[in-house]
Structures are given as C-alpha cells and as structure tokens.
Structure 1
Amino acid sequence: KWATLICLFILSITTESRHLQKRHHEEHPRIINDIVKAVGKPAVEKLVLVMVAQDFEKCSLDEHLKVQAKIIEAVDNCEKHPEEAECKKPAIELYHDIVCKEEDIDQLYPWTTECCGKAEAERTKCFYEHREVRVEEYKIPNIEESCKEHKEHPQRAFSYYLSNIAKRHSKLYPPAVLGFAIQYNEITTECCAAEDKAKCFGERMPQVKKLTNYLEDKHKQKCRVLKEFPERVSQALTLVQVSQRFGNAKYDDVEKVTIEIAHLNEDCCKGDAVECMIERMEATEHICLAKEKLSSKLSDCCAKGVLERTPCILALPNEEPDLPIELKEYYEDEHVCENYQKDKRKYLAHFTHDYSRSHQESSPQSCLRVSRGFEMLLEKCCASANSAECLKDAPKLLEAALKENEEISKQNCGALEKLGFNDFYIQLLVRYFGKMPQVTAQTLVELTGRMAKIGVYCCGLPDNKKQPCAEEKLDILLGEMCEREKKTFINDNVHHCCVDSYANRRPCFTKLGPYANYEAPVWDESKLHFTADMCKGSADDQLKTKLVLLVEFLKMKPTCGKEKLTEVIESFRKTVVECCAAENQQACFDEKKGGLHEIIKDH
C-alpha cells in the first residue's frame, strides 16, 4: 500500500569508523522530464506541492497551490518542448528559478533575497537551511466540516493534508510526506464513516503523528552526523546496518549497497529533494537486481511498483545468517598482521561486516565501538614483538562489549520495574542534573522525561531488541541536545561528549560524573513556586511542573545529599497530594509552603 511510504527513512543512520573509502562519482543532474518518467505526472504534482509547503510554511494552501500551478505549467511545457534551455536545467534549479520570481516573496521571507542570489548548489543549501521554522502543532479541525470537505472536495482535502504535513515537517523526505498524507486520507475516510467519529480520529491520528515525528527526527540526526563528523562516520554505520539487514550477503555485495546509500545520504542532507528521490529509487533498483545475492526475502518487495519498493524493503526485518560466522580468523590466523598491514581499511571493513551481521542484538553504534576497539588492538599487537600472544586479548574485548550492553539494559530496565515510572524519572533527573547543572529546569525535565519514556518503550521489547532500541532513540535525543549545545554552551564535560566521538557519545554521557565546578546561586525562596498550577493539566503536565520545582531546589542546594533529597521529595509529595485534594488548593499551598521552605532550606 502507498501508506507504507512512511517507512522511507528507517535505513539510513550514521556512526564512526575508518573502514570505507570515499566513493568518487560524477554528477548527473536530473532534468524535469526524467522525474516525470520515473514517478509519473500525478506524483510529480503532489511532490511539488510538498516542496513548496516545506520552503514557504507561512503561506496558505491557496498560495501553495498557486505556486504549484506555475511549476506544473513549466513541467507541461518541458514535456512538449524538451529542447528548450529551461528544460535542460536540473529540476531543482528550475524549481528555484520559478519560486524566486514570485511576487513579494522577499517580503514574506526576507532570507530569499540572499538565497535566490546564489549559484544553484549554494542556493539549494540555503533554502534547506532556512526550513527550520517552528509552526504550531497541527490540530484536528472541526470533524463534521472536515468530513464534509473530504467527501465533497476530495482532491483539495488531500492537498490540505500534503500542505499541512509538509510545513510542519520541513525536512522530511517528500515521498515520505506523500505517504503520510495518503495514510491521513485513509484514516479520514474510515473515521468519517465511523459511528463515533471523534473517538476514531482520537485513536488513529496520534499514531501517525508520532511516526511522522520519529522519521523526521531520524533524518535530522543522520544529517547532523554528516555535518559534524568525518564522512567515514556515515559510511561506517551504513555498512553496519546493511550488514545486519542482509545477514547472509557477502562483503563485496554489501559494500556496493553501502557506498551507494552513503552517497545518496549526502545528497539528501544537502536539500536536493529531486536528486534524493531519484537516487533512492536507483539504489532500490540496484538492490533488486542483486536480490539473489543479498537476501531471499527481497523477491516480493522487488515485484512491487517503483515507489513502493523502498518502503517494503525497509520494513523487512534484519536477516540472521543461516550459518554461524567465525570471527577467529581475524585474530588467530598466523597472517593477521600481514593482511591487516596490506589494507587496513579493507581488513577492518570485513571484520565490521562479519561482526555486525553475527550480532543482531547489538546496536550499530555498539558494533562500531567494538570495531574501533579491535582496530586499536590490531595497531598495538602488530607493532609488538609477539603479536600472536597479544591478540589473545581479542575474545575478551568482544565479550566485554556484549556484557556491557547486557548489563546496561538489565540495570536500567530493572530500575524502571522496581521504582515505577515516576521515581525512575526522578532518578534520571537527579543524575543528569549532576552532569549538567547549568541547563534550565524546563530543559532538564524535558530531556530526562524523554529518556524515561524511552526506557518504558524499549524495556517492553524482547531482550535482543532492548539495547538497539534504546541506543537508537538516545542517539536522536543526545543529537538534538548537542545541536543546542553548539549555540548555548553547557560545560566542558558535555561539550567533550558531544564532539569527541559519535559512536562513543552515549557511553560518554552515561559515564559522566557530577560537574565539579558548579557554583550554586544564593538561596532564593521566590524561585520555588508552590501554586495550584501543580494540580492542573494532565498527569504528565502535573509531574513536569513538580519536577521543575525539584530542579530549582537542586540548583540552589546541589550538595544536599541523598537522605536530605529523599526527605524533601517525600515532604513535597505529601503536601501536593493534600493540597490538590483541598477545596481551596491555593490557600492550602500558601499555608503549607512555609513549613516546606524550612525543610528545604535546612541544609
């Protein structure tokens, strides 16, 4: 189904290694007629609307459709007159030429003055970088009106879905936006026919919104890593993920797929939606041509239409190798150092491939940490007088990585089960306050709240899925935090974890101890707001309000100790329960806060 296009970004995430050579390629700009031939005119019309809405999020649907119509007029002309100079330009250049001529565009979007004056490669990058604009969260409009519009004007209703999803997810791959719009359309059709329309929409829409956010977050993180770390980082994790996806494929076949995907990731993160889309389809075509060598599970997906193949392939589970993979040849063979010295990158890439596909229970980042550790061991041992004796440490290194992953999962999932969500959340909050006390209370509560929810989700999975799940989601979360850290410095320890090593970023944060040089502000009771607001909103909102208060206390009393902290939390809990049950909540808090201040200040 077309709705499966929502999976389009699952494959491409990134990490760190030195194992793959850069792919040298020639540029092959796509003209508009190439795109029409590849995906068909109806799809081009929809994808153009997505691009317009992503670039110009302030405009109304009618304004988006007006610009779309001008671009489609140019598309029609090029189909009839392909020899014209305009039609020989790269499709993305033709698109920008048209939107840059829009009347008053520079008034609504002043940044276009700068972008439109640049040469095309820089112009594409400039447009893409200005897409990061906050738009209010989408709210379901009046249900009866929506259902009437959906029934009477289905084409306009679909354009509305495309436009609204696109401008709220400005960096999501356009065919993925199209896939989500198709799913919204299907949900609307079903829910408008349901007996309880509101309940139907209330149950179905949040699921789609959650997945939309997740896929865009993955894409942003992939692009962050490409921007912030050496190119080999992206190439190496792609090798790991392709190796895990096609567990029975040989290295040479996996390498070809890896190089192609790593290259298209670069183009997708430069903002050229047209080139990104075509390269993805080409990569899928090449995978299908090699399906006999890659995986027995590819046949059904490769029989589908061109736009349906990619999401189908990405939805396939990782394939376990049919036969056990022996890693001993990488450290017990008498020619290990000779082979390693001949071509270090190739040797390590082969090891990474075999290790990754034989350890599906490990996250790609964990596989790359093992690979980096093995590289360091090879460097040390191959420079020693007795390399064979030195390499006997290899099995310990490999086993230690698996043990560490298992222990971290058991520790966190065990704490969650024992403490329950709220106390697990508080534990994370206190721990991360120690690591980064300079962060605002609201930001710290939000950060650790997301961590706690990651724990709930991933700890509910089978044991072999817990570690990859948690590390993937924490990777995105820490990536967002480190991006903000570039603009708002936190402390030297946090900065080090953000920039030192992508693959080791999560372990670096996990191992961080309390920041030793924090200077607490003077005690100020006015920062502790005991108000009836703590009883308002959802349970999640109430908890966050209380935890913001806890962080404000910690900022002023960072060395209060575990016993004192427990006393403060319990006293605070009792007061909140009592006052939220009172007839006059604020009067209750006013009466109790004096006693609370004394308990809190007494340290």
Structure 2
Amino acid sequence: MKQLELTSFVLFLFFLTESLPLPTKPQDADDFSVVQKFIEENVEYITTIVFAQYIQEVAFEELQVMINNMVEYRDKCVADRTLPECSKSANEIFQEKTCSMEGLPQKYNFSHCCNKVDFERRLCFFYNKKGDGEFQSPFPTLEPEEKCQAYQNVRKPYLHSYVYEVARRNPFVFAPTLLTVAANFEEVAKACCEEQDKATCFRAKAAPITRYLKASSSYQKTLCGAYMKFGPKILKSINVAVFSQKFPKVEFKELLSLIEEISSMYDGCCEGDAVQCIRDSAKVMNHICSKQDSISTKIKDCCGKKMLERAECIFRLNRDDKPKDLSAREPKFTDSKNACQERDINPDNFFAEFTYEYSRRHQDLSIPEILRISQVYEDLLGNCCNTENPQDCYSHAEEKFNETTEKSLKIVKQECDSFQNLGKEDLKYHLLIRMTKKVPQLSTEELVFLGKEMVTVLTTCCTQSEEFACVDNLADLVLGEFCGINKNRTINPAVDHCCLTNPAFRRHCFESLEADKTYVPPPTSRDLFIFHTDLCQAPNEELQKKKDRFLVNLVKLKPGFADQELRSLFLTFTAAVEKCCKAQEPEACFNEEVISFLFH
C-alpha cells in the first residue's frame, strides 16, 4: 500500500466511470446543462444514496417508494421547470417527501426533524446519522455465482441494492464517491462474471474499490468533522496548505479564488446534499481547467481528457517542483517592520498568505504540521503586536517554528522506532495496551480497529523517504475519524478535550495522554474469557482478532497492571491456546489454563 497523497483526496476524486452516462467532450463539462442532465439521468442512484445515508435502517422496499417519488418529481420538472416546487433545492424536496411518507418518520425516529424547517431541518437530518460503528447490521454477501446471476438477471435493482447497502454503512461519504464505487463495482461484476474462477476475480478486483472507499471515507469525515466543529476558517487553512504544496507555482491571488470555490463546496457535500455536491465539484474542476496555465503546466493533458478521466488524472499527478527562485523563507512575515499593520488590514488573508508561502517552501512537511506552524505564527503575532518592539519579538519566529516541528518529528521517530524494534505483531500489541489504557471506555471492537489502523499507518510509512509527512498525515486521519463528524463524542474528559482541540494539535494532545485514572474496571466477567473448540479451527486472521480482543479485555479488566505484566499475561494466554488446541478436550483445557491464571 503506497502512501496516501492528501492532495488526491481534496476533491475526493470526483470522477465517474464509463458505466454512468457522462459527457464525452471535454468542453461539455463546462456546461451547467450537461451536469444537470447527468443528475437527472442518475436521479435513482442519487436518491438511493441520500435516502440510505439519512435513514440507515430503512428497508429496501421503502427505498423504492422514495425513488418513485423522486423520479415523478424529476419528470414533472423536466416537463415544466416553472412549477413552484421546481424552484426548491433537491435536498429540500427530498426531505419534504421523506417526511410526508406515512408512518416513516415515527418508525425510524426522525419526526423531530420533520417539525423543523430550512437550515434547522437539514442540520437535524445530518445529526441524526449514525456513525459507522453504531450501524451494526452485517453487509449481506452472496456467493460469486449467485452474485453474477443476480446482476445478469436484474441489473438495475441489483446495483441499487448494492448502492443502498454501501451508502447506509458509509453515511458521511460524498455522493460522487459512492457513485464512483458503484460504477467501479459494475465494471468488476461485468469482468468477473465472465471468468471461470469468479471468486478469485472478485477478491482481486474488489480490493482496490474497498481501499478507495475507505480512504475517501476517512479523509472526508476528518475534513468535514473539522469544518462542522471548528468552522470554515480551519477548512480554508487545510485547503490552502494542500494546494500550495501541490501547485507551488500558483499565485496567491489565483489560489484564493480557487480555495473559495472549494471551501463553499463543503457546505453541500458535508451536509449530505448530493445534488449540490455534484454541481459544486464539477464547478471546481471547471475552474482548475480554465486556469490551467496559471495553476500548473502539468495539468494541460489532464484537462484535455473526458470529464470522467480528467479529475483522476489531475489528482494523481506528482507535486510540482518548487520554483527555482523561491527563497528559503518569505521575509514579509518575519523580517518586515510592517507585519502587524498588514495583519490588521485583512487578518484572514494575511494568515492564509503565510500558510501559502510556508507550504510551498516546505513540501516535505505534513499538512497538520503546516497548520501547527500557521497557528504558532498567528499566536506569536497576537503577542508581539502588543509589545513596544513587535519586529524584535516576531523576528525569532523561525525558532518557534523549528521547536514545533522538532516536537512533531520526535513523536513520529518514537513511533517508527517502535515499529522497527518490535515488528508488526508486537507493535500491534504494544499499541493496543497503550490505547486501551488511555480510552478504556471504548468498545473492544473499536479499540481493536484503531490498533489495526495505527499499525497500518506505521507499516506503510516508516520505511518511506518521506516518513514524517506520511505518518503525521495518516495518523491525523485516524484521529479525525475517531473523534467523529456529526457530534462531539463523550468518552472521558481527557480524550474529549483532545477531540475539541484545534485539529492541528490533536496529535500532540493524544500523544501526551496518560492512562485514564478515573476508569473503574467492569465487574469480573468470565464470559469474556471463555473459549471453545472452534478457536482451534479458526482461520489465522480470525484467530488474530480473537487474540486482539482478549488483550483489550485483559487491559480493561486490569488497567493498573504495568505494560510488561499485561504483556506477560498475554504471552501466557497465547501459550495456553497452543497447548490446549493440542489437547484431547480443548474446552476443558481452556477453562483450566486461562481461567486459572486470570482469576486466581
């Protein structure tokens, strides 16, 4: 797995594949009517996404009623766009029709949203979404032969069903991303259903789709979580940093114009307004391609491609090299005697320009680190501009920047040293113990998931040349997903504080957390530590999961034990599993071996 390029996800790969009806001429993508036509032709898929994301428990049969309602609305407005209801936004119409479905609001507990109007109602639907971990219904699976038979016999309902199942489990993923996933899945189904070994084909070809969905979901939730909790300023800072690193030759004024369009896109996309999200993303792509000469010479070929190809082409491009005449630092911010006066004229643009200048000069730094430096500079000026000699005060800014970066580098070095010294499996156990002590209130499943995610980050990044940026970027995504998007989680005071901290310093905050001293272990439950013969027949992956769960439950039971003691108990357990699986009566052996060393 290669390092994830944050720039590849800023617009979240808003490209759609061949199986959806898209314009074929590059210039057509600039025409609003073409985007509108695409929306009208895909209204059934878009309705499926929105309905399944807002009301995740809804039955597929009830979804069909909503699809019919929205198709009827589309046909009516296509015939006569002057009708009063056709002037409303698609999201408004969708929510009105959802609320008018007899008994549905009461059945799925969203009637309180239907009593609200306009922004309040939209926000209510958003906050009503359940996070991924709260929606526990298992994803329905079919054998490859059944899957192909269903696809070939009833293609459209089968694809609707697939979109419905993916969307309800990924309530915060943007509609264009889910349309891409569905289209790619159809391409996989077409190819694999022609193969003799369908199972192997599906496994191989579906894996990249799953990775794409997971990466997009993680980034979108992190960015939207920052936007919903901290407002547009942090969103603007992130986008300035990302695009300045990606396109360091672009002029600041041009960058600001692009960032304004990108930032406004998030209103609809983060809220779940699928139609507006599709329109705004197309508008952003048109902006980039209409200004290609001033943004980057590398995107010219991409902008000559079809709409479905050009966004992917642009965001897969490597970063532009820094301009050769770019100085090591911009003196305007640390050497000029007028920094305070320039700040006061337009603070937002002044600090955005600082972020732009620092990002394009430091392409080796992570996005969170750029944001840390920017916040340090803003705080520094806040202090210095109130002194008798501001210039003397902020002339030492570089020292402050270096201190901040050194602290971040130290965290990553310690993490990568652990990876190098412990190896993948021992690193996972080390992280599970640390994380469980810090947030023992989390479910066992979520702690195991977080441990796995962090191991993936370190194994992905710690062997790369850009080790620091890779670890810091991806670890920040894990924390962003953990802290949530549509509500503030209440876990324990220390963790809650970190989730409400400026996102730039979230990593530092979590790193400094100690074990939660307020945690009271649950009453001793032997049920958590009872094992059966099936443990011995479990595939290796499932066996590893059971071991991970055991370790987390062990730490929850004995949080006061030192890490080494917990590790010793865990090794005793793994030895017991090996011994008992060779015994004539494994269950009796488990009871004797495991229960004895845990509870006596």
* TM-score, with length taken from structure 1: 0.84
More moved, 386-395 vs 251-260: 386-395
Out of 359, 363, 369, the position equivalent to 1:360 is 363
Q: Secondary structure at the match of 2:297?
A: coil
Q: Distance in 1 between matches of 2:417 and 2:579?
A: 31
1:115/1:198 CA distance change after superposition, 3 Å: same
* Aligned residues of 2:148 and 2:189 also touching (Cα < 8 A): yes
In structure 1, the residue matched to 2:68 is 69
1:439-468 residue CA offsets vs partner (Å, 9 max, x unmatched): 4545433332322222222335x221x334
What is the CA distance between 1:251 and its match in structure 2?
Answer: 0.9
Out of 458, 461, 483, the position equivalent to 1:458 is 461
1:565/1:141 CA distance change after superposition, 3 Å: closer
More moved, 144-153 vs 369-378: 144-153
Q: Distance in 2 between matches of 1:139 and 1:53?
A: 15
* Aligned residues of 2:439 and 2:495 also touching (Cα < 8 A): yes
What is the CA distance between 1:60 and its match in structure 2?
Answer: 5.4
1:184 aligns to 2:218 (yes or no): no
* Aligned residues of 2:419 and 2:458 also touching (Cα < 8 A): yes
What is the CA distance between 1:355 and its match in structure 2?
Answer: 0.9
In structure 2, the residue matched to 1:414 is 417
* Aligned residues of 2:11 and 2:281 also touching (Cα < 8 A): no
Out of 325, 328, 332, the position equivalent to 1:326 is 328
What is the CA distance between 1:294 and its match in structure 2?
Answer: 1.0
What is the CA distance between 1:344 and its match in structure 2?
Answer: 3.8
1:10 aligns to 2:9 (yes or no): yes
* Aligned residues of 1:291 and 1:299 also touching (Cα < 8 A): yes
In structure 2, the residue matched to 1:115 is 113
In structure 1, the residue matched to 2:81 is 82
Task: Give ranges in structure 1 of 5+ residues lacking alignment.
Answer: 1-6, 14-32
Amino acid aligned to 1:217? S
1:456/1:337 CA distance change after superposition, 3 Å: same
1:93-151 residue CA offsets vs partner (Å, 9 max, x unmatched): 3334444444543464342x433443243333333443437263434423223323433
1:232 aligns to 2:230 (yes or no): no
What is the CA distance between 1:231 and its match in structure 2?
Answer: 3.0
Q: Distance in 1 between matches of 2:69 and 2:595?
A: 67
1:568 aligns to 2:569 (yes or no): yes
* Aligned residues of 2:384 and 2:390 also touching (Cα < 8 A): yes
In structure 1, the residue matched to 2:145 is 144
* Aligned residues of 1:240 and 1:352 also touching (Cα < 8 A): yes
What is the CA distance between 1:363 and its match in structure 2?
Answer: 1.8
What is the CA distance between 1:517 and its match in structure 2?
Answer: 4.7
What is the CA distance between 1:273 and its match in structure 2?
Answer: 1.9
1:570/1:104 CA distance change after superposition, 3 Å: closer
In structure 2, the residue matched to 1:42 is 41
1:145-173 residue CA offsets vs partner (Å, 9 max, x unmatched): 33234334444443343333333333322
1:277 aligns to 2:278 (yes or no): yes
* Aligned residues of 1:531 and 1:589 also touching (Cα < 8 A): yes
1:489/1:194 CA distance change after superposition, 3 Å: same
1:398/1:180 CA distance change after superposition, 3 Å: same
What is the CA distance between 1:551 and its match in structure 2?
Answer: 4.1
Amino acid aligned to 1:77? K
Out of 433, 444, 447, the position equivalent to 2:447 is 444
1:308/1:104 CA distance change after superposition, 3 Å: farther
Q: Distance in 2 between matches of 1:137 and 1:421?
A: 28
1:577 aligns to 2:565 (yes or no): no
Q: Secondary structure at the match of 2:171?
A: coil
Amino acid aligned to 1:93? E
Q: Distance in 2 between matches of 1:187 and 1:8?
A: 26
1:307-359 residue CA offsets vs partner (Å, 9 max, x unmatched): 55444433333333232443150213344444445444333221210111222
More moved, 367-376 vs 377-386: 377-386
Q: Secondary structure at the match of 2:538?
A: coil
Q: Distance in 2 between matches of 1:343 and 1:358?
A: 23
* Aligned residues of 1:527 and 1:552 also touching (Cα < 8 A): no
In structure 2, the residue matched to 1:303 is 304
What is the CA distance between 1:509 and its match in structure 2?
Answer: 0.5
1:200 aligns to 2:201 (yes or no): yes
* TM-score, with length taken from structure 2: 0.84
Task: Give ranges in structure 2 of 5+ residues lacking alignment.
Answer: 1-5, 13-31
What is the CA distance between 1:187 and its match in structure 2?
Answer: 0.5
In structure 2, the residue matched to 1:125 is 123
Q: Distance in 1 between matches of 2:315 and 2:595?
A: 58
Amino acid aligned to 1:531? F
Q: Percent identity?
A: 27
More moved, 397-406 vs 283-292: 397-406
* Aligned residues of 1:242 and 1:257 also touching (Cα < 8 A): no
1:219-246 residue CA offsets vs partner (Å, 9 max, x unmatched): 2232222222243122211221222222
Q: Distance in 2 between matches of 1:95 and 1:442?
A: 35
* Aligned residues of 2:498 and 2:506 also touching (Cα < 8 A): yes
Q: Secondary structure at the match of 2:502?
A: coil
More moved, 149-158 vs 584-593: 149-158
Q: Distance in 2 between matches of 1:475 and 1:313?
A: 24
CA RMSD of aligned residues (A): 3.3
Q: Secondary structure at the match of 2:396?
A: helix
Number of residue pairs aligned between Structure 1 and Structure 2: 570
1:29-86 residue CA offsets vs partner (Å, 9 max, x unmatched): xxxx968645364234432343344445555556534432332233222222222222
1:433 aligns to 2:436 (yes or no): yes
* Aligned residues of 1:8 and 1:176 also touching (Cα < 8 A): no
1:420/1:161 CA distance change after superposition, 3 Å: same
In structure 2, the residue matched to 1:19 is none
In structure 2, the residue matched to 1:476 is 477
1:538/1:485 CA distance change after superposition, 3 Å: farther
What is the CA distance between 1:592 and its match in structure 2?
Answer: 2.5
More moved, 174-183 vs 77-86: 77-86
Amino acid aligned to 1:320? D
1:227-286 residue CA offsets vs partner (Å, 9 max, x unmatched): 222431222112212222222111111111112211221232223222222122122222
